[in-house]
Structure 1
Amino acid sequence: MDKLQALEERMAHLQRMMDDLSDVVARQDAEIRRLGRHVGLLMEREATREAADGEIPLADQRPPHW
């Protein structure tokens, strides 16, 4: 096997790895965005529930050591 062929094979392997990693990153990005939307909805739901109960939202309460 000559040097050029070995380099071409290595480059093809690295290209495949890069494509696979790109797919993983794209899936993770979609999952992070989905989870972010869910967290936002849960925060809104909790704020609505706290407001309905007449409580001060937890985020606005002073810590106990103050």
Structure 2
Amino acid sequence: MSLEERINDLEGRLAFQDDTIQALNDVLVKQQNVVDRLQLQMAALLKRHAELVGQFEAVEEEAPPPHY
């Protein structure tokens, strides 16, 4: 294999690796956006859950009926 062929081979590999790294980066950015959105949704659900639990705790604090 001549030096020129080896250089061409290395340049081809480098171009392929650059494309692969860019594709992986694009996927990573999309996944991070999804994770960020899911974290916001989870925080909203936890807040709503705490509100609902607070409402039910107020009802449960009432004394049981006399037949208990």
The TM-score with structure 2 as length reference comes to: 0.76
Within the alignment, does 1:39 sit opposite 2:5 as a pair?
no
Q: Flag as ranges the 4+ runs of structure 1 deviating above 4 A.
A: none
Q: Tell me the equivalent position of 2:56.
A: 53
Shift of residue 42, structure 1, vs aligned partner: 0.3
Q: Deviations over 1:9-66 (max 9, x none)?
A: 00000000000000011011000010000000000001001111126xxxxxxxxxxx
Count residues with an aligned counterpart.
55
Unaligned runs of 5+ in 1: 56-66
Cα-Cα RMSD: 1.3
Q: Look up the SS of the partner of 2:8 in the other structure.
A: helix
Q: Within 2, Cα distance between the matches of 1:22 and 1:45?
A: 35
Q: Tell me the equivalent position of 1:5.
A: 8
Bigger relative contact order, structure 1 or 2, given CA contacts below 8 A and separation 6+? 1
Unaligned runs of 5+ in 2: 59-68
